Structure 1
Amino acid sequence: MADRDPRTPETASPEPVLREATAGDLPGIQAIYAHHVAHGTGSYEYEAPDLAEMQARWEKIRSHDLPWLVCEDVATGHLLGYAYAGLFHGRIGWRFVVEDSVYVHPDHTGQGIGELLLRELLRRCEALGYRQMMAVVGDGENRGSIRLHEKLGFERIGTAKDTGWKFGRWLDTVYMQKTLGVGGSEPPPAGA
C-alpha cells in the first residue's frame, strides 16, 4: 500500500471545474444572480430576472460566440460561480472590445472562484482575437470586484459619479480596462 501524503486530507475534495455553461446550468446561474440583485450593489437591477430572461441573456452571449463559463464543484454538482464576456457596445467600431461579468455564489466568496473564472475568461477572449476587456464595476465601494480586476492586470480608467441609484443611495460606477494580446499596438487583421 502506498503511503498517503500527510499534507493532503483524506477527505480533500477535487478542484472545481471550469467549463462552458449549458442550459442545465441556468437555474443555478439565475439563483446566484438573484442573490446579488437582492443583496448587493454590483448590479443596478432591482428585480432579479426570471429563468426565461436569464436564458435569453445566455443565448444572446452564445449568438456572438462569446464565452459564458461556470465553476462547478464536481463533488456536489453545485455551481460556485459564473462569468461571461459580452460585447462592450454593439456598433462595429467596438467589435474588438468585450466587457466581463463575474458572479460568485455567496457561500463561496473569498475562495478564489472569481479569479479562476476571470483568468479563464481573459484567456478565451484573447484567443478569440479581442483586444481589450472592460470591467464596469457597479458601486465604487465594491472593493472585492475592484481588487479582483486589479490583481489580473486591469487598470482603473475612470469613475462615473452618482450613476446608480439602489437601496436609497447614489452609487459610483468604476471603469477598468485590460489589454488583451497585442491590444492597440497593431491594426486588426485584414477583413476583421
Structure 2
Amino acid sequence: MNYELFKSIHNLSGHSYALDNLMVFITNKAIYIFALALLILWIFGSKSMKRAVLYAGGTGVLALIVNVLIAYIYFEPRPFVTHDIQTLIPHAADSSFPSDHSTGAFTIAIAMWFRYKKIGIPLFILALLTGFSRIWAGLHYPFDVVGSLIVAIVVSYVIVKLSRLFDPIVNWIISIYDSIFDRSSRSNKSSRT
C-alpha cells in the first residue's frame, strides 16, 4: 500500500517542468523559509513571540534527534534504492523513515500552532507541501511523511506539557538578547544627542 501510494504521487512528476521545479524548490528550500520565518518573528515579535520562536526551534531540533534514534532502530531503504525510479534530485541512500525535512517542517509548524494558531496554520500548510514534495521528488514514501507528522505531534505535545521546566532557560535567553540589544540601542541614541 505504501509503495502504491508512493507511485500514485511520484508518477505525477516528469510531466510538467513548472510543477517539478516547484516541488524541487519546496523540497530543497522550505527549511530555509521556515528558518527565515522564525528569524523575522524573533526580530520583530514581542517577548511572547520570541518565546514561541525558541520553543518552535528547540522542539524542531529535539524531533530531529528522535528521528536519528528511530533510524538507528529501524532502517527503511529509500524508494529509489528498492525500486527502479527516477528521482528529481540526487540524494544519499540513507534511511527513508521518517523524513527529516518533513519532521522539521511539521514540528516547527505544530509547535508554533500551540502558541500562535494564525502563524502555525500557514506554516503547517507549507509543512504539508514539504512532505508532499519529498514524495513527488521520489525521496520518501508517504508513510515516511506520516511518521514525521506523528513524531512532530508527539514531541511538540510533550514539550508543551513540560514547558514549565524549560521556561527559565527560554526567559534567560530572551533576557540576554534584550540586554544586548537594549544596550546597543541606548548607546546609539546617546551618541546621536
TM-score under structure 1 length normalisation: 0.31
Greater strand fraction, Structure 1 or Structure 2: 1
Bigger radius of gyration, 1 or 2? 2
Greater helix fraction, Structure 1 or Structure 2: 2
